[in-house]
Amino acid sequence: MNLAVIEPTTSWYLVLAAVLFGIGTVGVMVRRNPLVMFMCIELMLNAVNLSFVALSASLSDINGQTAVFFVLVVAAAEVVVGLGIIVSIMRRRSDATADDLSVLKG
């Protein structure tokens, strides 16, 4: 088959998003630095955004892009609060990993 006529369908974008989500999941479970765990959460959010946009184009529905807009806003708020928490924890004990934070449990 001629390569020039193959067009990526929506499924390709969704599979890419699923793989990206899986990588983010592995990262959250494996990494112990809270900052890097945060970055992996951003990876997972981006995977979801990608599937929203791909399905929005596929189904001719602009509401998918609206959802991505709101996810972006919530992600920004989440990063601000999360990094604030990390800063105030790290100020007390500068070498904290996620394992050391188990003192937080009730």
Partner 1 sequence: MELFVFVCAAAMVLVGAIGVITRNNPVHAALSLVLTLFGIAVLFVANNAHFLAAVQVIVYAGAIVVLFLFVIMLLGVDRAEDLSTEPLTAQRPLALVVGIGVAGVIIAAIVKSQDALLVRGTGINSATLEDADANIRQLSRSIFSDYVFAFEVTSVLLLIAVVGTVVMSRRQRGQHVEESA
| 28-67 binders of partner 1 (CB under 8 A) | 29-33, 35-36, 38-40, 42-43, 46, 49-50, 53-54, 56-63, 65-66
- Of residues 69 through 88, those in contact with partner 1 by CB under 8 A are 69-70, 72-81, 83-88
Tell whether residue 6 is a contact of partner 1 (CB under 8 A). yes
Candidates 11, 102, 103, 106: give the one binding partner 1 (CB under 8 A).
Answer: 11
Q: Which two tokens stand for residue 50?
A: 């990608």
Identity (one letter) of the amino acid at 4? A
**What is the spatial distance between Cα 29 and Cα 55, in angstroms, rounded to a whole number?**
28
Whose CA is closest to 44, among 24, 74, 67? 24
